[in-house]
Chains A and B, each alone.
Chain A
């Protein structure tokens, strides 16, 4: 139990579907992150939120849309994804931007 919960754990969707990934942290952290993990590549940072404000968008295509309604919840809205978007999407949180990040178990996303 890492204190960071991601749902769903697995998601299969067509390219025209709209779905959302959810992340909830119970650690009282102020920063939250979305990462993409593909085979044989380093973890890729997608978005950073600090005190509910987006502070970083790492050149992510607009078909990925993050939302952070409060410091404990983070969403990733998905629309018109491509097959190359199939990957493990990891959420992380940290007390502040300069402190170690704690990860959830991820959502395994498959695009048909």
Chain B
């Protein structure tokens, strides 16, 4: 089946550091989405990207839609303890069952105060 390769699998960082994670695919997507999941909760949408090359920010979070449409990046600047959680990328194509989201396995972020 279709797969997204999300990396790194986990990160342990110091509070205040910047964080980068990415997703790659062998297929192109029309939309890239980034979600965060806290323990005991469902994924929450952080950023949605709709155009190749697009760079979008949400507070300290910045995500980019890769120019090849096969990858996406998420950066978190000046991390804080509440950034802890699992971050998921998801790609989507338009039309029929291709409208389904394909998820990465997640990046688990741990922040040391």
Using a CB–CB cutoff of 8 Å, the interface residues on chain A facing chain B are 2, 4, 6, 40-43, 45, 48, 55-56, 90, 92, 97-98, 100-106
Contacts and interface: CB of A to CB of B under 8 A. Distances in A.
Nearest to B35: A103
B3 to A, nearest CB: 8
Contact of B41 (A41, A102, A105): A105
A102 B45 contact: yes
B86 to A, nearest CB: 10
A42 B100 contact: no
Given A42-B4, A42-B105, A103 B43 contact: yes
Q: Per DSSP, are chain A's interface residues mostly helix, strand or loop, or mixed?
A: loop
Contacts of B99: 97-98
Given A48-B97, A104-B42, 4 more contacts: A2-B44, A42-B104, A45-B101, A103-B44
9 contacts: A6-B42, A41-B105, A42-B102, A43-B43, A45-B101, A98-B30, A101-B45, A101-B101, A106-B41
